[in-house]
């Protein structure tokens, strides 16, 4: 076959070609690396190392030749830069970690490598995964000498979403068939929605957090981002699984073959539609695309059930107390002694800490550390942190009540399509826009985003599907069925070159 259009193939198709030896892992890696270089103006990759990638690809070709191929042998993919990697630098898009090399691979990275994946490089994100637009990235992407946000391939004047903006943009621009992301309060689902790709955050505890640079440990969860639910299923089957010795919140629940769960019919499936997800803040273009998708589900035999998640609005203040509280504790390790950046001139130890952290952290990270320290401080702990913990439990209970009446929940991912770069100057406006993704995060439930159309500016719109605990298979099945009936996941940004060697 002609290899000029390899980037149009998804995970399932590429793995089939690799197994059939119609394509070598080295050819696949070279193709995507050339594309990454040709599109570096989109600010998507923070690190690439051809030698490392090609060495990994050669090892996969040897395994394929020896008939010892792992399930995803030779599949190229890229990792969000919050997963530590031995063979590439890891920065979490922070100056604090500039030049940092981990002595080990995160479990998710190691599992995917074991499954045969070849790492193309590390992807841009918001600093320490804090943000919703990728504009908080504080590290220069390849080809730039100053920090830049990754751009939305559908329109580079718009954000790709965040915090896994580089991951979503890489898949949408077809610089990688798939990528890893992390989701603390929506960071897989929201950028997937903004970039018109498919992403799933599994049940909290299903994917190991070992080697994922911690933001808010009780919420952080890894997951795959790819073009289709079918591709996400292939990756999720490899990426999940217990890691009990290394991650104390890892669940003792074996990985499943999610690909085997894609073909159930949807007749009789009860889809709960929470009225709070269609409140005044929802833009009409997004609402129209989401409602059209719900109609499509009815055509596929599902039944729509009106439900209520009464504390949806409270998920914003609850999350923005709990996540910063955990962040302020997690980020205390960046003190200039053990990791990364250390200030050059200082008078004594305390001065070294202060200057290191003042120089190393960006504004949003500092804001969260201060909020977190405040809500955990004596005198305010009961009023804020403890109250938020109680409400978190009630939000989780609301979902359990709703799941009495439905099998899964559907609604928008975000209130609008991707905003223009630089449009969101006020952090509170950005926090409020997380309203539809935060509830499932606080409850630890699996959630995904599925492309369902285009809104203003011809920018993609995602449908959010939320399942009960361990219902990833059901979510992927519902998404896959929709993708068999629609073709939104197959659209691609206009203006992207078809040749690996040419830019936009």
Minimum Å distance from CB 323 to ligand GLN?
5
| Residue 134 interacts with ligand GLN (CB under 6 A): yes or no | no
Minimum Å distance from CB 364 to ligand GLN?
8
Residue 355 among the catalytic residues? no
Rounded CA gap, 14 and 72, in Å?
Answer: 9
Single residue of 57, 132, 290, 442 touching ligand GLN by CB under 6 A: 132
Minimum Å distance from CB 493 to ligand GLN?
23
Q: Which residues pair with 410 in a beta bridge?
A: 465
- Return the number of the residue (163 or 180) whose C-beta is nearest ligand GLN: 163
In the complex, residue closest to ligand GLN by CB: 187
- Return the number of the residue (215 or 277) whose C-beta is nearest ligand GLN: 215
The angle subtended at Cα 372 by Cα 369 and Cα 377, nearest 5°, is 125
Name the DSSP class of 6.
G
Number of residues that bind ligand GLN (CB under 6 A): 13
Stretch that binds ligand GLN, among 51-59, 146-154, 179-187, 464-472 (CB under 6 A): 179-187
| Residue 225 interacts with ligand GLN (CB under 6 A): yes or no | no
The beta strand positions in 302-404, using DSSP E, are: 303-307
| Residue 464 interacts with ligand GLN (CB under 6 A): yes or no | no
Stretch that binds ligand GLN, among 100-108, 130-138, 256-264, 495-503 (CB under 6 A): 130-138
Bridge-based pairing of strands 408-412 and 270-274 is parallel
Q: Give how far Cα 155 sits from Cα of 152, 217, 318, Å.
A: 5, 33, 33
Q: Which residues pair with 199 in a beta bridge?
A: 225, 449
| Residue 183 interacts with ligand GLN (CB under 6 A): yes or no | yes
Integer distance in angstroms from the first to the last C-alpha of the chain?
24
Minimum Å distance from CB 447 to ligand GLN?
11
- Return the number of the residue (180 or 187) whose C-beta is nearest ligand GLN: 187
| Residue 138 interacts with ligand GLN (CB under 6 A): yes or no | no
How many C-beta neighbours within 10 Å does residue 473 have? 21
Rounded CA gap, 413 and 487, in Å?
Answer: 19
The beta strand positions in 227-291, using DSSP E, are: 270-274
Q: Which residues pair with 464 in a beta bridge?
A: 411, 449
Residue 80 among the catalytic residues? yes
| Residue 129 interacts with ligand GLN (CB under 6 A): yes or no | yes
Residues 293-352 that bind ligand GLN (CB under 6 A): 323
The beta strand positions in 163-281, using DSSP E, are: 178-183, 198-201, 221-226, 270-274
Name the DSSP class of 141.
P
- Return the number of the residue (154 or 215) whose C-beta is nearest ligand GLN: 215
CB 218 within 8 A of CB 443: no
Q: Dihedrals φ, ψ of 315, to 5°?
A: -65, -25
Rounded CA gap, 404 and 417, in Å?
Answer: 32
- Return the number of the residue (36 or 212) whose C-beta is nearest ligand GLN: 212
| Residue 137 interacts with ligand GLN (CB under 6 A): yes or no | no
| Residue 112 interacts with ligand GLN (CB under 6 A): yes or no | no
H/E stretch holding 453: strand 447-454
| Residue 131 interacts with ligand GLN (CB under 6 A): yes or no | yes
Residues 189-218 that bind ligand GLN (CB under 6 A): 215
Which of 94, 124, 133, 163 is an active site residue?
A: 163
H/E stretch holding 400: helix 387-402
| Residue 176 interacts with ligand GLN (CB under 6 A): yes or no | no
Residue 377, SS3?
coil
Stretch that binds ligand GLN, among 41-49, 123-131, 391-399, 488-496 (CB under 6 A): 123-131
Minimum Å distance from CB 130 to ligand GLN?
5
- Return the number of the residue (116 or 362) whose C-beta is nearest ligand GLN: 362
Single residue of 56, 187, 312, 468 touching ligand GLN by CB under 6 A: 187
Q: Residue count of the chain, please give it.
A: 504
Minimum Å distance from CB 304 to ligand GLN?
28
Name the DSSP class of 386.
I
| Residue 18 interacts with ligand GLN (CB under 6 A): yes or no | no
Give the chain's radius of gyration (CA, Å).
Answer: 21
Residue 237 among the catalytic residues? no
Rounded CA gap, 170 and 230, in Å?
Answer: 18
| Residue 93 interacts with ligand GLN (CB under 6 A): yes or no | no
Name the DSSP class of 424.
-
Single residue of 186, 199, 444, 453 touching ligand GLN by CB under 6 A: 186
Site string for ligand GLN, 433-452 (x = CB under 6 A): -x------------------
> Alpha helix locations (H) across 403-471?
427-432, 438-443
Binding site for ligand GLN (CB under 6 A): 129-132, 163, 183-187, 215, 323, 434
The catalytic residue positions are: 80, 163, 187
């Amino acid at each position: 076959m002609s290899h000029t259009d390899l980037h149009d193939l998804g995970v399932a198709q590429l793995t089939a070609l690799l197994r059939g030896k119609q394509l070598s892992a080295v050819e696949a890696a070279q193709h995507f690396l050339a594309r990454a270089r040709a599109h570096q103006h989109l600010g998507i990759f923070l690190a690439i190392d051809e030698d490392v990638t090609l060495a990994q690809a050669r090892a996969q070709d040897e395994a394929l030749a020896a008939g010892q191929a792992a399930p995803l042998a030779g599949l190229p993919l890229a990792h969000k830069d919050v997963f530590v990697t031995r063979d590439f630098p890891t920065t979490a898009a922070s100056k604090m970690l500039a030049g940092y090399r981990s002595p080990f691979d995160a479990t998710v990275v190691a599992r995917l490598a074991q499954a045969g994946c070849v790492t193309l490089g590390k992807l841009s994100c918001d600093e320490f995964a804090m943000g919703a637009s990728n504009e908080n990235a504080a590290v220069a992407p390849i080809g730039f000498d100053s920090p830049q946000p990754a751009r939305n391939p559908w329109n580079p004047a718009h954000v790709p979403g965040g915090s896994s903006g580089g991951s979503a943009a890489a898949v949408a621009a077809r610089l990688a068939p798939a990528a890893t992301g992390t989701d603390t309060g929506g960071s897989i689902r929201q950028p997937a929605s903004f970039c018109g790709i498919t992403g799933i955050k599994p049940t909290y505890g299903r994917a190991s957090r070992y080697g994922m640079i911690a933001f808010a440990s009780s919420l952080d969860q890894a997951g795959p981002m790819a073009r289709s639910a079918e591709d996400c299923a292939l990756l999720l089957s490899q990426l999940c699984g217990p890691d009990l010795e290394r991650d104390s919140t890892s669940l003792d629940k074996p990985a499943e073959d999610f690909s085997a769960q894609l073909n159930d019919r949807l007749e009789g499936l009860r889809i709960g539609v929470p009225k709070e997800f269609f409140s005044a803040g929802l833009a009409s273009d997004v609402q129209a695309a989401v409602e059209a998708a719900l109609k499509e589900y009815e055509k596929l035999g599902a039944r729509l059930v009106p439900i209520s998640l009464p504390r949806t609005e409270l998920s914003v203040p609850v999350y923005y107390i709990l996540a910063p509280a955990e962040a302020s504790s997690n980020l205390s390790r960046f003190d200039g002694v053990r990791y990364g950046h250390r200030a050059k001139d200082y008078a004594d130890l305390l001065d070294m800490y202060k200057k290191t952290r003042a120089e190393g952290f960006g504004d949003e990270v500092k804001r969260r550390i201060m909020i977190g320290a405040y809500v955990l401080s004596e005198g305010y702990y009961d009023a804020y942190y403890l109250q938020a913990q109680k409400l978190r439990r009630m939000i989780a209970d609301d979902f359990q009540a709703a799941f009495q009446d439905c099998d899964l929940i559907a609604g928008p991912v975000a209130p609008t399509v991707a905003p223009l770069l630089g449009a969101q100057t006020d952090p509170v406006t950005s926090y409020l826009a997380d309203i539809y993704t935060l509830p499932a995060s606080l409850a630890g439930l699996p959630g995904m985003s599925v492309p369902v159309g285009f809104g203003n500016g011809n920018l993609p719109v995602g449908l959010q599907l939320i399942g009960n605990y361990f219902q990833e298979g059901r979510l992927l099945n519902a998404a896959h069925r929709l993708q068999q009936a629609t073709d939104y996941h197959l659209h691609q940004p206009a203006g992207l070159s078809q040749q690996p060697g040419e830019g936009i």
